[in-house]
């Protein structure tokens, strides 16, 4: 089943870059008549090379604001989104792009080489046109090999997995509280109605997973990946069941226990610092919400074997996870992307069919796969708005480069869901 039908959401304030709020000291409000081929006087070879690469684009349109103040407009022959790209440092941009291709675009954003009033929309345009760029884009095989090697070094062995999780989740609970909603759910919400809040959407997600598990008071539930305890607390409160939830994040562990106590379910929910490979005992139900992505390809079989061994005969699991389009999987797995470099070291996404096949090999029966890409894109857009609303606090706690990294991460993921390169799947796995 594909994304459920729903009424069109109200436009974001930055849906049309020409009407965008000036978020980065840059306003793209120019009459269309001024957007032309532009003046290349004083433009060095890095910017000329960038413009040459972009001249092959075929989808959507793009306005490039050059460092000399002129504007170049690119119009593809196929319909698509419109992006606005303000280049500040063309030499820095091209140095990164020539070294790392797609990842280099993100690296150069972190170095403040460019800006856009709508990162996600710009990245959509750039991603959709990757197959059509002219020149040396993504041609540096040494750079790709080095990135791949660095990714492999972060493989999620038991020793490395703890470090990889700490890298992301132990940034501090106060940081995540700045921009997550009251549920502290750091996974996709489900916007069943277009007017619903992010908190409504997260509760919808809990409800959908709860219904998949068909939870009853007598059930013993294993949760692989606690987050900050949102689903475990919801399940215990609504079904009266007992939930054993595991995490590798000390920060999440402390907060989840405190939240369970405040919710009055501490007697029904236990949180433990534990690697999923060390799970013992059997359960009636297993749930895992956006955790498999951090496992890594070589440990996918182990992940499904753990679920199968943990389930009593006749038991079932509900999994929510991000999947990748099978058409681009081989290209994706042969390099390191921005997320793997900066956000989730050692992570890897799996195509839906392969996900199902791996579960079957472990003795599980996959059923009722449903996909929610639009919901995740909308969740990410809301998170991005929330981050922007507390940007000064984030810069004060970390620095400007960290803020740019986080913004690019959220926009990069939103782009993936909007363009169809990745999707969000909920699926049930049954043990005969």
User: What value does the mean pLDDT take over residues 164-174?
Assistant: 69
C-alpha dist (Å) from residue 17 to 66, 115, 410: 17, 12, 18
* Confidence grade of residue 345 (pLDDT, cut at 50, 70, 90): confident
Instruction: Check residue 7 and report its DSSP letter.
Output: P
pLDDT at residue 159 in the model: 58
pLDDT at residue 138 in the model: 53
Domain boundary among 139, 170, 190: 139
* Confidence grade of residue 6 (pLDDT, cut at 50, 70, 90): very low
Report d(CA 365, CA 315) in Å as an integer.
11
User: What value does the mean pLDDT take over residues 374-382?
Assistant: 98
CATH number where 216 lies: 3.40.50.150
Contacts of 101 (CB under 8 A, 6+ apart): 137, 138, 139, 140, 143, 144
* Confidence grade of residue 135 (pLDDT, cut at 50, 70, 90): low
Helix (H, G, I), strand (E, B) or coil at 347: coil
Same domain, 366 and 218: yes
Report d(CA 309, CA 112) in Å as an integer.
49
Same domain, 188 and 277: yes
Same domain, 157 and 134: no
Domain boundary among 139, 173, 188: 139
Report pTM.
0.87
Q: Where are the alpha helices (DSSP H) in 195-347?
A: 198-213, 230-239, 250-263, 300-310, 329-333, 338
pLDDT at residue 336 in the model: 79
Q: Examine the pLDDT at 302 and tell me if it is beyond 70.
A: yes
C-alpha dist (Å) from residue 390 to 126, 199, 411, 412: 28, 18, 17, 20
Say if residues 121 and 82 touch (Cβ distance below 8 Å): yes
Q: Is residue 198 part of a domain?
A: yes
In total, the chain counts a number of residues equal to: 432
Same domain, 52 and 190: no
The predicted-structure confidence for 76-120, as pLDDT tens digits, reads as follows 999 999 999 999 999 999 999 988 888 999 999 999 999 999 999
Helix axes 300-310, 352-361, angle to 10 degrees: 50
Q: Is residue 12 part of a domain?
A: no
pLDDT at residue 100 in the model: 85
Contacts of 280 (CB under 8 A, 6+ apart): none
Q: Is residue 9 part of a domain?
A: no
User: What value does the mean pLDDT take over residues 310-331?
Assistant: 97
Domain boundary among 112, 139, 166: 139
Instruction: Kindly state the helix (H) or strand (E) to which residue 361 belongs, with its residue range.
Output: helix 352-361
Give buried/exposed letters for 385-402 (b at 16+ CB in 10 A, else e). Answer: eebbebbeebeeeeeeeb
The radius of gyration of the chain from alpha carbons, rounded to an integer in Å, stands at 23
Least confident of 10-19, 260-269, 281-290: 10-19
Instruction: Check residue 3 and report its DSSP letter.
Output: S
Least confident of 169-173, 187-191, 211-215, 377-381: 169-173
Q: Examine the pLDDT at 7 and tell me if it is beyond 70.
A: no
- Other CB atoms within 10 Å distance of the CB of residue 178: 16
Give the best-scoring range by mean pLDDT among 35-49, 243-257, 325-339.
243-257
Same domain, 114 and 177: no
Q: Is residue 7 part of a domain?
A: no
Same domain, 325 and 414: yes
* Confidence grade of residue 46 (pLDDT, cut at 50, 70, 90): confident
Q: Examine the pLDDT at 295 and tell me if it is beyond 80.
A: yes
Q: Is residue 223 part of a domain?
A: yes
Number of domains in the chain: 2
Say if residues 93 and 46 touch (Cβ distance below 8 Å): yes
Q: Examine the pLDDT at 19 and tell me if it is beyond 50.
A: no
pLDDT at residue 243 in the model: 98
Q: Examine the pLDDT at 401 and tell me if it is beyond 60.
A: yes
Same domain, 133 and 227: no
Q: Is residue 147 part of a domain?
A: no
Same domain, 122 and 263: no
Same domain, 76 and 210: no
Same domain, 337 and 417: yes
User: What value does the mean pLDDT take over residues 42-46?
Assistant: 74
pLDDT at residue 3 in the model: 39
Q: Is residue 237 part of a domain?
A: yes
Q: Is residue 225 part of a domain?
A: yes
Q: Examine the pLDDT at 10 and tell me if it is beyond 80.
A: no
User: What value does the mean pLDDT take over residues 111-131?
Assistant: 96
> Which of 156, 148, 427 is CA-nearest to residue 302?
156
Same domain, 273 and 203: yes
pLDDT at residue 141 in the model: 45
Same domain, 94 and 72: yes
Mean of all residue pLDDT scores within the chain: 86
Give residue 91's domain range.
17-139
So which residues are the catalytic ones? 413
Say if residues 378 and 410 touch (Cβ distance below 8 Å): no
**Which residue did the predictor score with more confidence, 17 or 310?**
310
Say if residues 339 and 347 touch (Cβ distance below 8 Å): yes
- Other CB atoms within 10 Å distance of the CB of residue 90: 23
* Confidence grade of residue 164 (pLDDT, cut at 50, 70, 90): low
As to burial, measured by CB atoms within 10 angstroms (0-12 exposed, 13-18 middle, 19+ buried), residue 253 is buried
């Amino acid at each position: 089943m594909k994304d459920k039908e729903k009424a069109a959401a109200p436009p974001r304030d930055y849906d049309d870059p020409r009407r965008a709020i000036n978020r980065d000291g840059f306003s793209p409000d120019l009459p269309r008549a001024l957007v032309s081929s532009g003046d290349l006087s004083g433009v060095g070879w890095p910017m000329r090379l960038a413009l040459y690469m972009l001249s092959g684009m075929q989808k959507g349109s793009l306005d490039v604001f050059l460092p000399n103040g002129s504007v170049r407009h690119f119009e593809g022959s196929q319909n698509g989104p419109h992006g606005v790209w303000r280049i500040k440092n063309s030499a820095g941009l091209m140095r990164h792009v020539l070294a790392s291709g797609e990842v280099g675009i993100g690296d150069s954003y972190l170095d403040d080489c460019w800006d856009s009033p709508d990162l996600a929309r710009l990245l959509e345009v750039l991603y959709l046109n990757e197959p059509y760029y002219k020149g040396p884009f993504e041609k540096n095989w040494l750079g790709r090999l080095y990135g791949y090697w660095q990714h492999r070094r972060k493989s999620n062995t038991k020793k490395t997995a703890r470090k990889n999780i700490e890298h992301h989740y132990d940034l501090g609970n106060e940081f995540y509280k700045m921009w997550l909603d009251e549920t502290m759910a750091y996974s996709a919400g489900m916007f069943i109605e277009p007017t619903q809040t992010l908190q409504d959407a997260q509760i919808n997600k809990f409800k959908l997973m709860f219904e998949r598990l068909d939870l009853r008071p007598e059930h013993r539930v294993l949760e692989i990946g606690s987050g900050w305890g949102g689903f475990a607390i919801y399940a215990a409160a609504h079904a009266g069941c007992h939930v054993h939830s595991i995490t590798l994040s000390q920060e999440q562990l402390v907060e989840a226990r405190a939240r369970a106590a405040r919710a009055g379910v501490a007697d029904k929910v236990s949180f433990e610092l534990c690697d999923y490979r060390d799970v013992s005992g059997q359960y009636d139900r297993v749930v895992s919400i956006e955790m498999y992505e951090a496992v890594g390809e070589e440990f996918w079989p182990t992940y499904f074997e753990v679920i199968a061994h943990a389930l009593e005969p006749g038991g079932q699991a509900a999994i929510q996870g991000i999947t990748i389009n099978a058409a681009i999987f081989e290209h994706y797995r042969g390099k390191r992307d921005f997320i793997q470099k900066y956000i989730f070291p050692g992570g890897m996404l799996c195509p839906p069919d392969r996900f199902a096949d791996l579960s079957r090999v472990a003795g599980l029966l996959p059923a009722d796969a449903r996909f929610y890409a639009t919901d995740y894109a909308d969740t990410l857009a809301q998170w991005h708005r929330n981050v922007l609303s507390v940007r000064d606090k984030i810069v004060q706690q970390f620095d400007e480069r960290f803020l740019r990294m986080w913004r690019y991460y959220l926009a990069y993921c939103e782009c993936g869901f909007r363009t169809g390169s990745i999707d969000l799947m909920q699926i049930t796995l049954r043990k005969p």
